């Protein structure tokens, strides 16, 4: 099915809308169900409540489920409250267990209990199992809808079993093999299973070198493993190697988007990315904690500058260069921070070693600091005609860039070692810290120059 551009989607929706208003159910269903579920979802999200209520009567729970898997899960609760509880429960029964669990996590606990009580027992059981696991772990994003075969089965028996179970499975490109105690013992691709001789045992054709993740593994680490190995799916096991579920590539794509958004919001000093529909009070509540912390750090910067009041009074021109030096320190610190956070997220630091990467950033800071230092020394000398003032600003720039680069690289590493999300070492935080360092270096050196009577 061809991907629809926005204007094509709107043209098609115009036709569907006319069918709705004229109560032409067959025409609506023919046009709407012809669309890809993603395009259905994009249209559905823009509808008024009255139109959505009409659609609930025209589509079956199974058809609604296929579309709702493409909706923003944070908004699903609003849609469920519009529906009859039994209709909503039936929809959940037809949604893949991992997606249904993610939707239910966005709902009130009383609503969750109600839906699990009235929905299909087998589906409810699978969802309850997934709701048990901690958020952002392998267990919370895995699906229990997968096909397993036994090592003692023949290829023919396995193919018959696969044909029977495949319609309810999320993917069949990899088939995982278990023993009688449900331990994960191997994996076989669909291709290898098809070309194998019918009378061969699965234990003879499977690969027993299986890459897996533990049920409590962080979802970001799972995403890194699947990226490194180019997997379409990866098995999830408990501490005794029992196969509990699988994680598919579509779930990992959602994880990568979620983690990227989370890291970006932390780098911006925001506790969570603002939802478009939240009010000003909620947005302010999320941003205020970081701003209050940065306010106190800013007061420390002001207090530090007050300690050098005598120096600034003697040579007023020194104040002109404070924004330059502080700004350069903040910029280079943020650059190093971005490199460090990315390195930790991608696992680069584990490959190359943290010491090597810190040395690389130190070298980068030395080169950039020396270059900028010599450049600013010449500019200040030509501007002010004072060689010692140029040397002071140049040395200060060089020292602050070296220190700021190291700070931007080392702070996330320390946080990582302390099991704190390194993205918390946000841009505003590093910038404020580097302001303190740069002012201390600059005005401290200026005071030393004055005591040596090198400045006038």
What are the domain boundaries of the chain?
6-134, 148-264, 280-451
- Asked if 286 contacts 274 with a C-beta cutoff of 8 angstroms, the reply is yes
196-209 average pLDDT score: 93
CA 372 from chain centre, in angstroms, equals 36
Higher pLDDT, 426 or 108: 108
Give the model's pLDDT for residue 56. Answer: 92
Give, in words, the CATH class of 148-264.
Answer: alpha beta
- Asked if 76 contacts 41 with a C-beta cutoff of 8 angstroms, the reply is no
% the chain with pLDDT above 70: 88
Task: Assign domain 6-134 one CATH number from 1.25.60.10, 1.10.287.130, 3.40.50.1580, 3.40.50.150.
Answer: 1.25.60.10
What's the rounded Cα separation, in Å, for the pair 440 and 446? Answer: 10
pLDDT by residue (tens digit) across 69-114? 888 888 888 899 999 999 999 999 999 888 898 889 888 888 888 8
CA 404 from chain centre, in angstroms, equals 27
Which residues are CB-neighbours of 11 under 8 A, at least 6 positions away? none
- Alpha helices by DSSP H, 181-321: 190-195, 202-205, 219-229, 249-267, 280-307, 309-314
Read off the pLDDT band of 217 (50, 70, 90).
Answer: very high
pLDDT by residue (tens digit) across 131-171? 888 888 999 889 888 999 999 999 999 999 999 988 888 88
pLDDT by residue (tens digit) across 28-70? 888 888 888 888 888 888 888 888 898 999 999 999 999 998 8
Give the model's pLDDT for residue 274. Answer: 47
Mean pLDDT, all residues of the chain: 83
pLDDT by residue (tens digit) across 292-337? 777 787 788 778 778 888 887 877 888 888 888 888 888 888 788 7
Fold of 280-451: Tetracycline Repressor; domain 2 (1.10.357)
Q: Which residue pairs from 303-309 have beta carbons closer than 8 angstroms and sit at least 24 positions apart in sequence?
A: 304/436, 304/439, 304/440, 304/443, 305/439, 305/443, 308/439, 308/443, 308/444, 308/446, 308/447
Statement: the pTM of the whole predicted model exceeds 0.75: no
């Amino acid at each position: 099915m061809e991907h629809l551009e926005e204007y094509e989607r709107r043209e098609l929706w115009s036709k569907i809308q006319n069918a709705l208003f004229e109560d032409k159910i067959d025409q609506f269903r023919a046009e709407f169900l012809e669309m890809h579920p993603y395009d259905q979802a994009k249209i559905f999200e823009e509808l008024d409540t009255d139109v959505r209520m009409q659609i609930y009567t025209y589509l079956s729970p199974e058809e609604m489920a296929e579309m709702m898997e493409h909706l923003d899960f944070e908004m699903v609760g609003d849609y469920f409250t519009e529906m009859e509880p039994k209709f909503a429960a039936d929809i959940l029964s037809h949604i893949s267990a991992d997606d249904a669990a993610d939707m239910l996590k966005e709902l009130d606990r009383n609503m969750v209990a109600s839906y699990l009580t009235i929905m299909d027992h087998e589906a409810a059981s699978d969802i309850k199992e997934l709701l048990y696991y901690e958020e952002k772990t392998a267990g919370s994003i895995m699906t229990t809808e997968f096909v397993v075969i036994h090592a003692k089965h023949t290829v023919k028996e396995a193919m018959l079993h696969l044909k029977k179970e495949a319609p309810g499975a999320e993917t069949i490109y990899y088939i995982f093999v278990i023993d009688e105690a449900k331990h994960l013992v191997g994996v076989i691709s669909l291709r290898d299973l098809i070309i194998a001789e019918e009378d061969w045992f699965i234990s003879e054709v499977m690969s027993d070198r299986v890459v897996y993740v533990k049920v409590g593994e962080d979802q970001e680490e799972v995403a890194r493993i699947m990226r490194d190995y180019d997997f379409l799916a990866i098995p999830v096991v408990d501490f005794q190697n029992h196969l509990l579920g699988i994680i598919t590539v579509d779930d990992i794509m959602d994880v990568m988007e979620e983690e990227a958004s989370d890291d970006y919001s932390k780098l911006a000093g925001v506790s969570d990315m603002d939802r478009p529909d939240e009010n000003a009070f909620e947005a302010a509540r999320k941003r205020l904690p970081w701003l209050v912390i940065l306010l106190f750090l800013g007061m420390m910067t002001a207090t530090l500058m007050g300690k050098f009041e005598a120096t600034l009074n003697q040579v007023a021109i020194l104040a002109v260069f404070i924004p330059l030096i502080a700004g350069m320190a903040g910029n280079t610190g943020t650059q190093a921070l971005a490199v460090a956070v990315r390195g930790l997220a991608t696992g680069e630091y584990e490959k190359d070693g943290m010491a090597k990467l810190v040395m690389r950033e130190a070298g980068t800071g030395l080169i950039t600091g020396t270059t900028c230092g010599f450049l600013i020394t010449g500019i200040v000398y030509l501007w002010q005609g004072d060689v010692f003032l140029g040397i002071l600003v140049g040395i200060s720039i060089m020292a602050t860039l070296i220190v700021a680069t190291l700070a931007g690289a080392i702070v996330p590493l320390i946080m990582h070692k302390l099991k704190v999300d390194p993205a918390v070492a946000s841009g505003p935080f590093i910038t404020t810290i580097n302001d303190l360092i740069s002012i201390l270096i600059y005005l401290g050196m200026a005071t030393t120059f004055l005591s040596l009577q090198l400045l006038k």
